[in-house]
Amino acid sequence: MSTLALVAAAALRLSSGQDAGTDARDAGPDKIDVSGYPAEQKANYELFRQKCSKCHSVARAVNSKFTAVEWKRYIKRMVRRPNAGVTEEQSDAIFEFLKFYSTKLGL
């Protein structure tokens, strides 16, 4: 494919809203009502919102219907990204929140 054809295809994707950064989960709710959660989980939620929103929308994580096992694997992958800025202790707290949340969802 010629360079011109590649550029045209990319422009068409961008104009239709289908760029590489688009994820359907981003269009869903971007917060969780944690008012009835235990204090520790409320604190973990705030850490989750702060750290995870550095690289993608909070909605993406909120709308990911992962089990605890899937979250554990996903968090490990995210923490290894350059400039993630998440300590081991913070990743454990984020995991505890997401495990709690996925259990509340019945996953």
Global pTM value:
0.77
At 92 the pLDDT is 97
Of the candidates 53, 65, 70, the residue with the CA atom closest to the CA atom of residue 25: 65
At 12 the pLDDT is 43
What is the residue extent of each domain of the chain? Answer: 25-104
Please name the residue that has the structure tokens 């917060």.
Answer: 31
The third-level CATH classification (topology) of the domain covering 25-104 is Cytochrome Bc1 Complex; Chain D, domain 2 (1.10.760)
CB 67 within 8 Å of CB 59: no
**pLDDT tens, per residue, the chain with 107 residues:** 554 444 444 444 444 344 446 789 999 999 999 999 999 999 999 999 999 999 899 999 999 999 999 999 999 999 999 889 999 999 999 999 999 999 999 99
- The residues near 31 (Cβ < 8 Å, ≥ 6 apart) are 49, 58, 62
Direct distance between the N- and C-terminal alpha carbons of the chain, in angstroms, rounded to an integer: 44
At 67 the pLDDT is 96
